[in-house]
Amino acid sequence: MPRPSANDITQDMLPKISHGRGVYLWDVDGRQYIDGSGGPAVFSIGHGDRRVNEAVAKQMERVAYGYRYLFSSDPLEEMSEIIRQATGLADMVYTTSGSEAVESAVKIALQYHFDRGDPGRVNFIGRRRSWHGNTLMATALSGFQDRQRAFAAALPMVGRVSAANAYRLPSGVSREGLVAHLAAELEAEIVRLGPETVAGFIFEPVVGAAGGALPAPEGYGRAVAEVCRRHGVLVICDEVMCGSGRTGVWRASEADGITADIITVAKSLSGGYLPLGAAVYTREIAEVMAAGHGGPLTGHTYTGHTACLAAGVAVQKIVAEEGLLARIRDKAPRWQADLRARLAHLPAVGDVRGRGYFIGVEVVADPGTKAPFAAALGVNGRIRAEGLRRGLICYPSGGHVDGAAGDTVILAPPFNATDGELDEIAEKLVAVLETVISGL
Ligand SMILES: Cc1ncc(COP(=O)(O)O)c(C=O)c1O
């Protein structure tokens, strides 16, 4: 039985993967798992799709990689057009991870301000309870104490504002007053840092691991974007986890009624077949950087790796041709309502929330006060272990109330999961939570 801990990284306790097909995975002992969370919200069209594998194999046959700074390629041009059409933004820097996409977004923001003659804008503001990635700056921007503590002393200084959490309101703030409160808090933080020093504000439209698929409340995106624009601060939407269609619209922030200056995408972009991410930015930013330095000063050896892009193009074509975003928009509200109904008999289920196929369940010790279970109980670790035991892959996470306590579990199935598979995921999650909660 794995150790019930929020950060169980003990490799030798993990089952060994054999193969995957659609929503299912099998380990080498023949045990079957239903992938209810697409691992960490990655596998947007399920596992083992032959069309993607063939597209990658064909590309590998021709050339694995035409180095981005020497060659263009069909997959590069096709993917760039797909992203332009989907986001309405102008250009992008490709990466091989979400962390690099965030790091690139930071450098693009800094370069934009520098190139337009405003080099004093070097500060960033992030939110408490957020996750932006593993590189130092992405970790600094994050609000995820468990993942930051060991590096805290070395992390660049970052301005900080509250999470936008309609389930856990700041003290003295009503649900109706939440958005105005958070917008005022952001403005106060910009003023505290000095508006002329602030380069960008980063937020996840739907918070992933740090919040348990926690969506921004209605009006939040527009309110914070208005504050940022008034102070010349760039809006950066981190859509690594919630974007590329997972919420039923390609850009998660579309539902917030805003177009960010920069958005980051990864995960569902290539659906886990090969690593691919991007920092995507507006025409204005592109033009300023082009005039200043001929283009963005950020890139990696594997920026725009051709085989990775071929995987991404194949995944995106499947999503488009099979109408999978419309499918999510159609099915998700019923699935979320069904899940809520199935969990209604468990008082410890404090909240079921999310957008599209990105659903979070928060478990609490006291539904009246919303008090979390003690961190020492390791509830999220137990959920993960019980899930694996029952053949359910879900994405539990901890610490979202005070950095230590607060347990959530994310479901993020493939966009093309069948009704029966969605049912099986819900049924298994109910059984997992019943077992874990009754065992506390
Ligand atoms: C919102 C968000 N941003 C950035 C990252 C970092 O992405 P990666 O793990 O691909 O580096 C993650 C990873 O989970 C994420 O959820």
Question: Is ligand 1 within 6 A of the CB of residue 102?
Answer: yes
Give the ligand 1 atom nearest the CA of 99. Answer: 11
Cα–Cα distance for residue pair 250/257, rounded to 1 Å: 13
Protein residue whose Cα sits closest to atom 16 of ligand 1: 241
The H or E element that residue 369 is part of is none
Residue nearest to atom 4 of ligand 1 (CA): 132
DSSP code at position 310: H
Query: Residues of the chain whose pLDDT is less than 70?
Result: 1-12
How far is it, in rounded angstroms, from Cα 57 to Cα 311? 9
Q: What is the pTM of this model?
A: 0.96
- Please tell me if the CB atom of residue 135 comes closer than 6 angstroms to any atom of ligand 1: no
- Residue 97 in contact with ligand 1 by CB distance below 6 A: yes
Residue type at 83 in one-letter notation: I
Q: 33 pairs with which residues across the strands? A: 25
CB 99 less than 6 A from any atom of ligand 1: yes
Mutate to test the pocket of ligand 1, among 37, 99, 238 (most ligand atoms within 8 A of CB): 99
Domain at 11-48+323-438: CATH architecture: Alpha-Beta Complex (3.90)
What's the 173 CA to ligand 1 centre distance in angstroms? Answer: 30
pLDDT for the residue numbered 12: 58
Classified as helix, coil or strand, 282 is: coil
Q: How far is the CA of 352 from the centre of ligand 1 (A)?
A: 22
C-alpha–C-alpha distance, residues 300 and 302, integer Å: 5
Residue 89 to residue 83: CA distance in whole angstroms: 8
Residue 13: predicted pLDDT: 80
Nearest atom (ligand 1) to Cα of 98:
7
Nearest CA to ligand 1 atom 3: 132
CA of 83 relative to ligand 1 center, distance in Å: 19
DSSP code for 240 = T
pLDDT for 9: 43
> Could you state, in order of their start, the residue ranges of all structural domains in the chain?
11-48+323-438, 51-321
| β-strand partners of 396 | 409
Cα 153 to ligand 1 centroid, rounded to whole Å: 22
The finding on whether 131 has its CB within 6 A of some atom of ligand 1 is yes
Q: How far is the CA of 269 from the centre of ligand 1 (A)?
A: 12
Closest CA to 143 of 156, 160, 168: 160
Residue linked to tokens 């060991």 = 150
What residue type is assigned to position 368 of the chain?
G
- Residue 294 CA to residue 342 CA, distance in Å, equals 56
Q: Among 44, 103, 131, which residue has the most ligand 1 atoms within 8 Å of its CB, making it the best to mutate?
A: 131
Ligand 1 near 275 CB (within 6 A): no
Q: 143: Cβ below 6 Å to ligand 1?
A: no
pLDDT at 138: 98
| Predicted pLDDT of residue 11 | 53
Angle 229-233-237 from CA coordinates, rounded to 5°:
90
Query: Topology of domain 51-321, per CATH?
Result: Aspartate Aminotransferase; domain 2 (3.40.640)
Contact 304, 129 (CB under 8 A): no
